[in-house]
Structure formats: C-alpha cells, structure tokens
Amino acid sequence: MTPHRTGFRTTALLFLAQAVANTQATANAADTAAAAPQILEVQGGHVRVVTVASGLVHPWSLAFLPDGKTLLVAEAGRLRVIRGDALDPEPAWTVPTGTSPQNNDTMKWIAIHPDFAKNKRVYVSYPLSSGERGTTLAVGYGTFDGKKLSSFKQIFAADAWEKGGNMGGKLLLDPTARCT
C-alpha cells in the first residue's frame, strides 16, 4: 500500500469515526459543524480531526467524489451528501421498499464506479426482506446527478436468507467495476 493511499484510508476512517461520535449530537442535521478541530496523538504522530457534519444517526459508510463532495450512508437507509462543510438538508436517496423493517440502518455500504466522472454510477448494498424467507444482502446502483441518486437498479441478492441478526459485508469494486 502506498503512503498516499494509507493516508487517504486513515483520513476516511477518522472521518467516519468522527461522524459516529456525532451520532449523539442533538443538532439539526442541516447545521454545519463549528467545533474546533481536535488533535489526537496516535502511534507515529498526530491526527487532526475536523467535524464537517453533525446530527447524523448511524453513519456507516463513505464515498469521496472527484468534485470534493462526500456521500455518506446514514439514518435508516438514507444517502446523504456533504458539500464542503455542510450536510445537505434532504437525503439524496432512500433505500427501496422491501428492505428489512427490523434493521434501523438499512443501507450498508457505498462505492463509486471507477469511471464515476463519466457515468456517475454509485453502488450501494442493503438488506432485502422476502417475508417468510427472511432477509438477505442485496446490491444495486443508480446515477448520481450531484444532488439525487436516480434510476436505481438492483443487480444482486445473496442466496443467504436469515430471520435474525444484522447483514454484514463490504462493497468494493475492482478497477474494471466488478464487485469483489
């Protein structure tokens, strides 16, 4: 792993950790964060943590877009957009009907297509309910126009139905956009 990529992943993980810490915040989701940066001592140096959005409920996964926006999976299956230091007040997308009703963090992971700059494709994974069979993990994609995700299409549902627990897994795309 290159040092640049390691730094990027560390930044992403710290961003998500800070977002998780903010889940207890009572501020309105549209409020921008005005908190002073925190400096944390970590093995090998220091890390600067800056809150960019507060009032989130169950932040789970992030995707960084080429134009600087951040897509964030949070709040009972809602895809949120962070522009600079502001959280858009309305979700960009909410999981389709038929997801697991007992799962309060329905959307799981998000990934952008390797050629996102051209095709604007965003992939998400989420639990899918099938009544008596239970719940399984599904994957789909849509087109992100900078504000909303549209033209959503489910492309996969695992044959791993269960009636309890929490769906797990990670959504990764290889450079050719195959799910791996």
pLDDT digits (tens, 9 = 90+) for 67-106: 999 999 986 788 999 998 788 999 999 887 656 555 444 7
- Region of 74 (left: φ > 0; alpha: ψ -120 to 50; beta: rest) is beta
Mean pLDDT for the stretch of residues 2-15? 44
Domain borders along the chain are 3-157
Query: What is the number of alpha carbons within 13 Å of residue 41 lying toward its C-beta?
Result: 0
Is the pLDDT higher at 45 or at 21?
45
**pTM for this structure?**
0.73
Return all residues near 21 (Cβ < 8 A) that are at least 6 apart. none
Taking only Cα atoms into account, the Rg of the chain, rounded to an integer number of angstroms, comes to: 17
Is the pLDDT higher at 174 or at 35?
174
* Fold category of 3-157 in CATH: Neuraminidase (2.120.10)
Average pLDDT, the chain: 77
Cα separation, 66 vs 68, in Å, equals: 6
pLDDT, position 107: 79
